[in-house]
Structure 1
Amino acid sequence: MGVSNNITAILNFIALLASVPIIASGIWLASKADNECTHYFRWPVVILGALILLVSLAGFVGAYWNRQGLLALYLFCMAVLIVLLLIVLVFAFVVTRPDGGYSVPGRGYREYRLDGFSSWLRDHVTNSGNWNKIRTCLAESNVCGRLTQNYVSPDQFFAAHISPLESGCCKPPTACGYNYVNPTLWVNPASPMSDADCLLWNNDQSLLCYNCNSCKAGLLGNLRKEWRRANVFLIVAVVVLICVYLIACSAFKNAQTEDLFRRYKQGWV
């Protein structure tokens, strides 16, 4: 195995390692209740990470056993996967750039409005056809049930930094003036007409505020928060993959030159 192929093999091993945080980020995203209920956000990162791992493994095999055809296929496939991953990153950054959250006096958590998020997210997540399925999924999850286990007194709950999804779906908006009994049980609204969601709140644990706009906004807030965190790891992985790819292209050209020189020398001898 030539020096250039040695370098390519090492680089592909590094690319293989770079696929691990991509897969891990995808699995972490997929494990969240909001991504579990919005299926089209759930698996693309995991699938891309798995494909990068397989292509890197093919490149490593091609470099180690000097299979030029396999190396050429690796370079082509890796270029496609890097472009796809960049598209996912740019798309995720653009659609999660606006933040629909706002602070509430005397509360540790934030509340959310739909008009604070990108129109693409609103249209594709909260339209009636999709939301009916998402709402049912959220109601069947344990998103709100955990709150009653973690917080007992009003002071504990009001000071808590709960997630956007919990803030939007598990309690009525603060502006409604409901009195706290526990995190998912509220009574006696003081100003029920201050927000359209006030009339939609229901103490039935299968209903709560799952029909509210605040719940839709909370879901978008959760998606934004989680994808922003995942993007940090994905950006690092993409930078590593691009650097590895550029060096691998140079090493592949050098390997071809070495191979041609060796053949010429053998023919000359």
Structure 2
Amino acid sequence: MTFRLSNNLLGILNLVTFLFSIPILGGGVWLSRKGINECEKFFDKPIIVVGVILMIVSVAGLIAACYRVTALIWFYLVIIFLVVLLGIYNTVFALLVLNKGAGEVLSGKGYKEYRLQDYSKWMQKRVNNESTWFTIKSCLADSKVCTNFHTHHLNDTVQEFYKAHLSALQSGCCKPSNDCEFTYVGPTNWTKGKGVFTNNDCNTWENDLDTLCFNCKACKAGFIDNLRTESSKVMVINIVFFVCLVLVYFVACCAFRNTSRDKF
């Protein structure tokens, strides 16, 4: 009996997925061996895991489609179903933990201030973990977010600087908090006043480009807010991915039904 359309389509989809898994796996292996900084090495294991899972599932789908193996199609359906559930869980979870919090608008300033207590407790706990934050700090340093900030605003007057539209990371990590009321000398060079600061970030700030406010709560808040912005972009990709996954699941269900009919 000739293959039905759903079996052929399932085979084609899994062939594409298998080919797609090769560069993903290769990229993860490359990062684990050639990654030159913490940012790159931080992502190698998740990428390798995704690549291996994608490859295994694709091979199972290909064999199931070509040879109409009922057990493999069952396995394929279960895995795809679990991936869909996991994706929905991660999306809802991300919305819950990243939905809370926003930057504070300042009068006469072009940028916002970011306060850690405004964000979810779960995210606060994550960034307050020393090991986690050390990795994030290394990533921020490697990305030169504050070095580029320093170069871009080096010749700004104080009035020009206050009108600048800064990103959440630049505002939280590369300059002192507005509460400190330091005297502006340069974008990363501020003169501390004398007295007791109510905001501990003021004591943490250093003019050294390697330190600045990377250990400040404002920097952690800026990182979370930047994560919120980036996650909204990823959410669109997730929706497209879920639609494609549901389509694959539907085709796999049809293939399973066809295989079952052919055997009986």
The bucket for the TM-score relative to the shorter chain is 0.7 to 0.9
Corresponding residue to 1:224 among 209, 222, 228: 228
- Unmatched runs of 5 consecutive residues or more in structure 2: 32-37
Spell out, residue by residue over 1:204-263, the C-alpha distance to the aligned partner (whole angstroms, 9 max, x if none). Answer: 222211222111211222222222221221122112212320332133112220233xxx
Letter in 2 for 1:2: F
Residue 124 of structure 2 is matched in structure 1 by 122
Normalised to the residue count of structure 1, the TM-score between the two structures is: 0.75
One of 69, 72, 87 as aligned partner of 1:70: 72
Q: CA deviation at 1:114?
A: 0.9
The 1:89–1:36 alpha-carbon spacing in structure 2 relative to 1, beyond 3 Å, is farther
- Does the 8 A contact of 1:176 with 1:190 survive in 2? no
Give, as a single letter, the amino acid of the residue that structure 1 aligns with 2:110: G
Aligned to 1:2: 3
Instruction: Choose which of 93, 106, 109 in structure 2 pairs with 1:107.
Output: 109
Cα distance in 1, alignment partners of residues 12 and 111 from structure 2: 47
Change (3 A) 1:158 1:232: farther
- SS of equivalent residue, structure 1 residue 144: helix
Relative to structure 1, the CA distance from residue 45 to residue 229 in structure 2 (aligned partners, 3 Å threshold; closer, same or farther) is farther
User: How far apart, CA to CA, are the structure 2 residues paired with 1:95 and 1:38?
Assistant: 25
Q: Which residue matches 1:245?
A: 249
Measured in 1, the distance between the counterparts of 2:100 and 2:215 equals 23
TM-score by length of 2: 0.76
Q: Is 2:176 the counterpart of 1:172?
A: yes
Q: What do residues 140-167 of structure 1 show as CA deviations (whole Å, max 9, x unaligned)? A: 6522111122223145544443332221
Q: Check whether the contact 1:11–1:248 (CA below 8 A) recurs between aligned residues.
A: no
Report deviation, 1:53: 5.2
CA contact (8 A) 1:176 1:192 kept: no
Q: 1:165 to 1:183 in 2, by over 3 A?
A: same
**Distance in structure 2 (CA, Å) of the matches to 1:145 and 1:160:** 16
CA contact (8 A) 2:39 2:138 kept: no
Specify every segment of 5 or more residues in structure 1 that has no aligned partner in the other structure, as ranges. 261-269
- Paired residue for 2:84, among 53, 60, 82? 82
Letter in 2 for 1:204: D
> Where does residue 207 of structure 1 map in the other structure?
211
Do the aligned partners of 1:178 and 1:190 also contact (CA within 8 Å) in 2? no
Asked if the contact 1:89/1:235 (under 8 Å) is kept, the reply is no
Q: Which moved more, 1:5-14 or 1:171-180?
A: 5-14
Check whether the contact 2:65–2:255 (CA below 8 A) recurs between aligned residues.
no
Q: How many positions carry a matched residue from both structures?
A: 247
Instruction: Pick from 232, 256, 262 the counterpart of residue 258 of structure 1.
Output: 262
Q: 1:48, 1:85 within 8 Å by CA — same for their partners in 2?
A: no
Shift of 1:110: 1.9
Q: Do residues 36 (structure 1) and 24 (structure 2) align?
A: no
Greater shift in the superposed pair: 235-244 or 57-66: 57-66
**Cα distance between partner residues in 1 of 2:48 and 2:167:** 24
- Identify the match of residue 187 of structure 2 among 180, 183, 188: 183
Question: 2:194 and 2:242 mapped to 1: Cα distance?
Answer: 52
Q: Which amino acid aligns with 2:165?
A: H
1:51 aligns with 2:53: yes
* Distance in structure 1 (CA, Å) of the matches to 2:224 and 2:197: 24
> In the aligned structure 1, how far is the partner of 2:196 from the partner of 2:180?
5
Q: Which moved further from structure 2: 140-149 or 189-198?
A: 189-198
Question: How far, CA to CA, are the matches of 1:38 and 1:161 in structure 2?
Answer: 31
1:141 to 1:10, Cα distance in 2 relative to 1, 3 A: closer
Superposed CA deviations along residues 32-55 of structure 1, whole A, max 9, x for unmatched, are xxx93995x886577446623541
Moved more, 188-197 or 175-184: 188-197
Question: After alignment, is 48-57 or 78-87 more displaced?
Answer: 48-57
